Structure 1
Amino acid sequence: MFDAGFWEFALIGVIMLIVVGPERMPAIARKAGMYIGKGKKIINKIKEDISDELDTDKIKEQLNFEDQGLDVTDVFQDTKNTLNEIKSGGTKN
Structure 2
Amino acid sequence: MFDIGFWELLVIAVIALLVLGPERLPGAIRSTARTIRSIKSMAGNVKSELDEQLRIHELHENLRKAESASMKNLSPDVQKSVDELKAAAQSVNRPYAKKPTTTPPTDQEPKSDG
Rounded to whole Å, the distance in 1 between the matches of 2:8 and 2:45 is: 29
* Pairs aligned (count): 78
Alpha-carbon displacement from aligned partner over 1:21-51 (angstroms, at most 9, x marks no partner): 0111111101110001001111111211221
Whichever residue aligns with residue 61 of structure 1, its letter is: E
SS at match of 1:61: helix
Q: What is the CA–CA distance in structure 2 between the aligned matches of 1:43 and 1:5, rounded to whole Å? A: 25
C-alpha displacement of 1:66:
2.0
2:42 paired with 1:47? no
Structure 1 segments of 4 or more deviating over 3 A?
Answer: none
Structure 2: 5+ residue runs without aligned partners?
A: 78-114
Give the TM-score of the pair, scaled to structure 1: 0.72
Q: Could you tell me how far apart the structure 2 residues matched to 1:5 and 1:11 are?
A: 10
Structure 1 residues not aligned, in runs of 5+: 80-93
Q: Distance in 2 between matches of 1:29 and 1:42?
A: 20
CA RMSD of aligned residues (A): 2.0
Q: Distance in 1 between matches of 2:38 and 2:15?
A: 24
Identity across the alignment (%): 31
- When structure 1 is superposed on structure 2, of 26-35 and 50-59 the one drifting more is 50-59
User: How does the TM-score come out when normalised to structure 2?
Assistant: 0.60
